Amino acid sequence: MTILICGIHGFLGRAMGDYARRVKGKHFVYGLARKKAGPGNARIIECDLNQSGRLRKVLRDIKPDIIFHLAGGRCGGGQETFDANFTSTKNLLETIHGLNVPRSPKIIIPGSAGEYGHVRGKRLIMEDCRAAPLSWYGFVKLLQTELGLLYARRGLDVVVARLFNLCGAYTPPSLAIGAFAQQIVAIERGAQPVIRTKNLGGKRDVCDVEDVCRGLWAIAQTGRTGEVYNLCSGRPVVFRQLLKEMISYARVKSIRVEEDKQDLSSSFDAVGSNSKLKKITSWSPRISLEQSLKNTLESCRMVFPSPGGRG
């Protein structure tokens, strides 16, 4: 089986490459990236998703059975976020559709809990809850999801996996838990006096990136064309308590937090139901929140240089 991972050098793409190489069976794992970058967990192919001719040649050459389209994410300004998530997906799906192959590869597109926005009156968010994103990122991800479902109706084997909050090794500071880790390690290094954060009163759904990769793989095996699946733990975590737990793993005795409690933009709850996913897979989270947070911090220490030059 041939696997293609778009965005292989990103946080989720790299983790997915590691996971795919460990799965039993004969798999050829290719990674798509704008530039090659050192030894990796896949055969790296240089290709910009905006280069339709080059992309068409790559797809014809390797004939992937499964495509994990993990390029994109939270990227700077509005247009950059739009291009990284929506435009790249449009180019990929248009190119695959234009190949007119007898059987479409299975295409997994990661959605976001941000697509739902603030869902009132629900303890757990189901896939059929009305999408009403509150952020530009959530809106762009919703457009990406709708685009994927459009191409599913046009004959491509597209499935959407909506991700909630990720943590674990090498979580980037563009994600909330990665930002906490970066600030804690900065304080350990003496580079920052306090942690500054938005309102932490809301409850969130948190999964380790390795569990998410297992879930994406499971969806690639049994997910139904044109369906959306929440890939989440189903367990509420108050972010204020989560940060307190992370601080307890710090290498300094006391850390002060400056929380902007007047900022209510993120104070609502966003916890997903994974019941639909469990109907088609045996997936459930395996890595504890404690271990995941420790992994997040430890990996951050490795990439955050100390004043003496050691991690």
Please report, for the chain, the start and end positions of each structural domain, with discontinuous segments joined by +. Answer: 2-166+207-231, 176-203+235-270+286-303
The string of pLDDT tens digits covering residues 12-56 is: 999 999 999 898 778 899 999 988 765 566 799 999 998 999 999
- Per-residue pLDDT band for 87 (boundaries 50, 70, 90) equals very high
According to DSSP H, which parts of the chain are helical? 11-22, 52-62, 78-82, 88-99, 136-153, 176-188, 209-222, 239-248, 275-280, 289-303
Both tokens assigned to 11 = 């946080």
306 pLDDT above the threshold of 70:
no
pLDDT at 123: 87
Q: Is it true that domain 2-166+207-231 has CATH number 3.40.50.720?
A: yes
Q: Which residues lie across from 112 on neighbouring strands?
A: 163
Q: Which fold has domain 176-203+235-270+286-303?
A: UDP-galactose 4-epimerase; domain 1 (3.90.25)
pLDDT at 264: 66
The percentage of residues in the chain with a pLDDT greater than 90, rounded to a whole number, is 80
Q: Averaged over 181-191, what is the pLDDT? A: 95
Closest CA to 292 of 235, 253, 252: 235
Neighbours of 116 (CB within 10 A): 25
Please, are residues 44 and 36 in contact by the beta-carbon 8 Å criterion?
A: yes
User: Mean pLDDT score of the chain, rounded to an integer?
Assistant: 92
Q: Which letter does DSSP use for residue 304 in this model?
A: S
pTM value is: 0.93
